[in-house]
Chain A
Amino acid sequence: MPNLYEGAGILTNVKLDHVSKYFDKVIGVENIDVEIRSGEFFTFLGPSGCGKTTTLRMIAGFYYPTSGRIFFGDQDVTYLPPNKRNIGMVFQNYALFPHLTVFENVAFGLQVRKKSKQEIREKVERALKMVHLDGYGNRRIDQLSGGQQQRVALARALVIEPQILLLDEPLSNLDAKLREETRVEIKRLQLELGITTIYVTHDQAEAMAMSDRIMVMKNGVVQQVGTPEEIYNRPNNQFVASFIGESNLLEGTVEEMDDRLVKVRISPELVLSGWKENAAPGVQLKKGEKTTVSIRPESIREASSSEQGEENVVRGQVTLSEFTGVSVNYLTRVGEHQLKSMFVNRGFRVYQRGEELTISIPKESVYFLG
């Protein structure tokens, strides 16, 4: 990937050093301690009210932290006003200036920086071309569609050659198809420019598809920081496991344990065994104690009835059968539990509600959450 910035010195990492923000007495975010690497696509992910936008706004300079420091590279920017930070920000509702044309909107940041007319013209035109809006310079903002407005906002943020690009739920106002397109577009630009990007979203699919790393938040507290694979395959806790993708969360008691294998009794009908190292960080499994097991629906496979009785193979009654085209989703009742499973559609027989189904849960997909 070519780095289009001349000299990587202009790129910067962002460090949040034990940052907390309280609104009066209410917690906005608490003790965030994370470093976003130079050139990284980093996502803050969480449900609404989790503090992701608050964190972004502290990086932008619209809020000041109650405690902790924020660094861009070596520079302490904790209390630097937003206009001194050289950031590019795309707002959820784009925040385009309705009294200015497309060209004037994009030129705004360059005019602030007192660039020459010639330079402004060239840069704005290049920026508009970059977002495929060449020729739209004289349009008024209200003559643009939502997707076009979104791209103007992106051009306006990028034309000032910011050290950091901040995106606050930029896709949430677009319809599904446009969202898909714009998502690809943003990722392409980020890769081409190699710019440090911080992205805020509540949409886990978006986060997984775009990010180098993700920070999952809940109620102002960081739950986990990691690559999409880490977050998905090795969630830190139940919240992460259930917020990212789908998961069967089952509570049980450790029945047997040796150096490698752990056997957990979920219910009289259901005993699962899995690898001991396949556990969230800090989880201590002890014989006779309670634990929670997470199983991804897509890791479950269909078994033949002859396998019944083998380890991790159970038979149950289908209570819900969903054919989506790509896959068949089942809810299978085993004892008191309902197990979600998802089989990729390869033309297998589709079981109907009420039929018996035998499923097998591979040992490596049994994940201990503690």
Chain B
Amino acid sequence: MYSTSNHSWTPSAMKRKTSITSSPYFVYVLVSPLFLVLLAYVIYPLFQTFIESAQIDGTFSLQNYLEFFSLKNTSNLEALWTSIYISILSVITCGIVGVGMAFLLERYEFPGRKILSVLVMVPMSLPPLIGVLSFEFLYGKSGIIPRAFQAWLGLNEVPFALSGITGVLVVHTFTMYTYFYMTASAAIKGLDPSLEEAAASLGASRFYIWRRVILPMLTPAMVASSLLVFMISMASYTAPLIFGVERTMTMQIYLSRTNGDLDMAATQSTILSIVSILFLLIMRWYQNIRNYQNMSKGISVHRTEVKSKVGKYVAMILSLIGVMILLLPILVLVLLSFSVDGSWTVEVLPTEYTLNHYIELFTDSRTWRPIANSFEMSMIATIGNILFGVAAAYAAVRLKFKGKTLLDVLIMIPWALPGTVVGINLIAAFSEPSVFSLNQVLVGTFWIIPLAYFVRHLPLVFRSTSAVLLQMDRSAEEAARSLGASWWYSFRRVVFPMAFSGILVGALLAFVQGIGEFVASILIYTSETVPISVEIFQRMYAFEFGTACAYGVLQILLILIVLFISQKVSGNNNITV
């Protein structure tokens, strides 16, 4: 090939102008907009909320905090206690269910295992509001199951019903055990069977192996999920709202805000933020010190088969119940979405059915409006998330600069903050013109909700992209550079295509989360910008269950599509050879 080479690569041809990308300070050119965005939309709002809480008539005062912790009016302290108490119980119940399911499905073979292991992730497909509503429809005071028992047993009252803290706990368990399930089943899959075999060959009994080998290996996964579930429970807003538990932190914030006491709302938000960020830091610290990686390759899972006849029947019946519990929330939503609005009062099941709700969703402009709103606002937020997330992930994984850990922590903060707090923060920051909003008041305009979605889902694209980048061999990029590609060219032709699966998964996730978002939206929506979830909430209160559920089914469908695509993308991922 060299025999016909032309001379385009003589030394003189190599002396092209050196671009900005080769400067050692280029990294700061890339990184500073990231910090600016975080400063403007994460730190500044957080800070404004604090200012709001620590100022009375323009002077610094801790009066609000004294009031919060005052023993005369203990509603705030009670709320803090209830939130913590619910969260601790949620961790316990989710842990038991999640780890139990993981062991059952990963280590045993029984009739119904396959279907159960598919359906076990169903709770992930329910947007927060929809999940809680389906439980209210199923097990609430006028729910289908209690009424069915009432009719069956011929009682005057329903024999049982979910409400109050129990209701919140059941919903939390249902929606959050998946965090335990996922980490535990990954950990169990990663457990090298030869470790157990080695322990057994050294004379350890089954119980001893559990205590000394399996549980210690699972501990990091458990602690991480416990912290996560605790944090999410603290942030939970929809379940207390629907089951009428007013004394939780999030509800208190919401009530203070709707009563116009923004100072108190800000105080409560600040306290909740501190708890959440503290937990975030603990989690990060813990994940850094405990990390068991499996040393061996090619692990084969061996499942213990349930062999006895009785065992098989018991397993089958339990699987069936499990499948029912997992599927009922979705089934009930589908069923109700066909019911005529206002037709379901005291009966066990709705009596009149219609297809109209679905037709109306797309034809009636009043019903279509929230769908269009949600799509538009979520789309805008997602585009922002992609731009920010990809740049930040690249910076965090590939570049060396001062303040990297800070960047990482700042990006994770919006994820740790309860949606309610994000809402309050944005209200505190953008009720007045500021530099970061180009001197506009954002509260009460269209832009506040996309901004809230952007902030809340900031970590999603970042995390999925950095996960792929971490796996990706960095020498591929170096190879491109050695072949003469500029930084931008190799980013475009090599890094971006190789990270595409991660970016896509994160972006889709951010998009559907936006479509299902309720907690922050309820604080900041305007009559022009009602998103789907707020509309569902309002329809519920107008007893238009059919329409509400039709919206819900639409949300679930979108999520299922996204989950399907994500699985396809990461399943066919030959990209990380």
Contact = CB atoms under 8 A, between A and B. Distances in A.
Given A83-B485, A86-B484, A108-B493, A156 B479 contact: yes
30 contacts: A5-B5, A6-B3, A9-B10, A10-B9, A12-B11, A75-B15, A79-B22, A81-B18, A81-B21, A81-B481, A83-B482, A83-B490, A84-B484, A86-B9, A88-B482, A91-B478, A93-B475, A95-B479, A97-B479, A98-B574, A98-B575, A98-B576, A99-B498, A108-B480, A108-B485, A108-B493, A109-B483, A109-B485, A140-B574, A156-B483
A134 interface: no
A158 B1 contact: yes
Nearest to A3: B2
Contact of B11 (A75, A87, A142, A162): A75
A228 to B, nearest CB: 27
Interface string B16-31: 1010011010000000
Nearest to B19: A81
Contact of A84 (B14, B489, B576): B14
B527 interface: no
Nearest to B26: A81
Which residue, A60, A83, A92, A156, has most C-beta atoms of chain B within 10 A?
A83
Interface string A60-99: 1110100000001111000111111111110111011111
A89 B15 CA distance: 20
B216 interface: no
Interface residues of A, number: 57
Interface stretch (A28-36, A122-130, A231-239, A275-283): A122-130
A96 B482 CA distance: 12
Given A6-B2, A108-B485, A142-B577, A96 B7 contact: no
Interface of A: 4-7, 9-10, 12, 60-62, 64, 72-75, 79-89, 91-93, 95-99, 108-109, 111-113, 123, 126-127, 130, 140-142, 153, 156-163, 166, 193
B328 to A, nearest CB: 43
A113 B484 contact: yes
Nearest to A92: B475
Interface of B: 1-5, 7-11, 14-16, 18, 21-22, 24, 473, 475-476, 478-487, 489-490, 493-494, 497-498, 500, 574-577
A83 B494 contact: no
B5 A93 contact: no
A89 to B, nearest CB: 4
A10 B7 contact: yes
Contacts of B4: 6
Contacts of A75: 11, 14-15
B9 A161 contact: yes
Given A10-B10, A75-B11, A84-B16, A91 B3 contact: no
- Please provide the 6 A-B residue pairs with the shortest distance between their CB atoms, ordered closest to farther: A109-B483, A95-B475, A81-B22, A95-B479, A89-B482, A4-B2
A113 B6 CA distance: 13
Given A89-B479, A112-B489, A113-B8, A83 B574 contact: no
Contacts of A9: 10
Contacts of A97: 476, 479-480, 494, 498
A72 B577 contact: no
Contact of A5 (B2, B8, B16, B574): B2
Contact of A73 (B11, B22, B485): B11
Nearest to A125: B1
Contacts of B11: 12, 72-75
A113 B5 CA distance: 14
Contacts of A62: 478, 481
